[in-house]
């Protein structure tokens, strides 16, 4: 699938100039033309995908520098001005004000103009990609139930989302910017900042570190993951952290441990009862798998029990129920 061509808007009151520029750029770009700066303004404001605007400086009713000034910040399009030598002072003012990315003089050099348009379109494409990534990050932070934050190398917050702000008792995440955790939270935060310094020093992440905190109500637990933000030279510029409420996970884990402990205790009691019985007891599954046998069963069988279906035991071991062996089938779906 071919990539879409970048869009270029040409603005000039002379049709022959517009046609000449279209002939030069039409193979590589999608070209729009306007002889009216007013109509061109409407088009720029309606179409955010215009990458480059090329305008003449001297036009009736509205000069090029005024036209570009009216575009303002409403478009990310890069602006190139075409001018005669007499218009250079106005062009240079526009360049100094940041309204013009580049300019060419009439008659233009085709190779020079093509190079400037190509470079401008590349800058526009990069700006669009960066804006897309910023928007993704902003949406992620705004909509994530997890607390997300960024800190600089001095442990000052650069940015945080609303979830993290609420977790430390702040309603507006902007209150955190430029401040350390110790300036925002009462109580001991030494452990948190010690971990931050460890991440900066060792350039290694800390993963899923569970911490306990006492709020107005019962105990709560959070899991924190921190990772270094590295510069081009590999040095630490700061850290990014994700904090997640794992109170329910911890409670479930503790309940499971308690249940396992109770089951082990019950198993010990059952084994003690079975081993104290005078009868041999063997418990098998319906497919013949041996699930449990007591000490007396092992004595009566005299061998290690094999996986044998209950009805095959007499033929296998030459035993009958009146020989002191009790067979207890297991109900697959006990009530």
Convert the pLDDT of each residue in 57-115 to its tens digit: 888 889 888 888 888 888 889 999 888 765 677 777 777 666 788 888 888 899 999 99
* pLDDT value of position 246: 78
Question: Which CATH superfamily does the domain covering 7-140 fall into?
Answer: Response regulator (3.40.50.2300)
Q: Enter the tokens of residue 115.
A: 């190079």
Q: Rounded distance, CA 126 to CA 2, Å?
A: 19
Q: Rounded distance, CA 330 to CA 291, Å?
A: 9
60: DSSP letter: S
User: According to CATH, where is 3.30.450.20 located in the chain?
Assistant: 144-250
Q: Which of 12-16, 148-152, 252-256 has the lowest mean pLDDT?
A: 252-256
* pLDDT value of position 281: 77
Q: Rounded distance, CA 328 to CA 319, Å?
A: 15
* pLDDT value of position 330: 47
pLDDT digits (tens, 9 = 90+) for 311-330: 666 666 655 444 455 555 54
User: According to CATH, where is 3.40.50.2300 located in the chain?
Assistant: 7-140
Distance of CA 264 to the CA centre of its chain: 42
Tell which residue, 90, 87, 67, has the closest CA to residue 77.
Answer: 67
* pLDDT value of position 276: 75
Question: Which CATH superfamily does the domain covering 144-250 fall into?
Answer: PAS domain (3.30.450.20)
pLDDT digits (tens, 9 = 90+) for 18-43: 999 999 999 999 999 999 999 999 99
Q: Rounded distance, CA 120 to CA 54, Å?
A: 11
The gap between the terminal CA atoms of the chain, to the nearest Å, is 62
pTM of the entire predicted model? 0.58
Q: Enter the tokens of residue 129.
A: 């990609």
Q: Which of 155-159, 179-183, 224-228, 303-307 has the lowest mean pLDDT?
A: 303-307
Q: Write down the mean pLDDT value for the chain.
A: 82
- Whether 335 shows a pLDDT value over 50: the answer reads no
pLDDT digits (tens, 9 = 90+) for 123-132: 999 988 988 8
Tell which residue, 171, 7, 4, 13, has the closest CA to residue 77.
Answer: 7
């Amino acid at each position: 699938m071919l990539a879409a061509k970048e869009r270029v808007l040409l603005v000039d009151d002379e049709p022959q100039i517009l046609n000449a520029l279209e002939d030069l750029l039409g193979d590589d770009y999608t070209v729009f033309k306007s002889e009216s700066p007013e109509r061109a303004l409407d088009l720029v404001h309606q179409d955010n995908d215009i990458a480059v605007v090329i305008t003449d400086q001297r036009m009736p009713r509205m000069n090029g520098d005024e036209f570009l000034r009216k575009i303002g910040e409403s478009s990310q399009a890069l602006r190139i001005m075409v001018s005669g030598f007499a218009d250079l002072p106005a062009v240079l003012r526009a360049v100094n004000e940041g309204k013009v990315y580049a300019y060419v003089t009439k008659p233009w050099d085709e190779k020079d103009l093509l190079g400037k348009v190509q470079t401008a379109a590349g800058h526009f494409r990069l700006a669009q990609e960066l804006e897309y990534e910023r928007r993704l990050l902003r949406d992620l932070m705004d909509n994530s139930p997890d607390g997300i934050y960024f800190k600089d190398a001095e442990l000052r917050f650069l940015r945080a989302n609303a979830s993290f702000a609420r977790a430390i008792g702040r309603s507006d995440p902007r209150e955190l910017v430029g401040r350390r955790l110790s300036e925002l939270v009462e109580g001991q935060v030494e452990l948190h900042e010690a971990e931050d310094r460890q991440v900066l020093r060792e350039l290694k992440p800390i993963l899923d570190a569970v911490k306990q905190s006492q709020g107005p109500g019962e105990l709560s637990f959070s899991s924190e993951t921190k990772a270094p933000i590295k510069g081009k030279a590999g040095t630490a510029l700061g850290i990014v952290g994700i904090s997640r409420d794992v109170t329910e996970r911890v409670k479930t884990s503790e309940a499971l441990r308690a249940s396992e402990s109770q089951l082990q205790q019950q198993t010990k009691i059952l084994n003690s009862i079975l081993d104290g019985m005078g009868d041999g007891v063997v418990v098998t599954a319906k497919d013949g798998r041996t699930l449990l046998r007591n000490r007396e069963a092992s004595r009566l069988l005299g061998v290690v029990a094999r996986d044998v279906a209950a009805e095959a035991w007499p033929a296998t071991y030459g035993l009958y129920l009146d020989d002191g062996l009790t067979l207890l089938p297991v109900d697959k779906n006990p009530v």
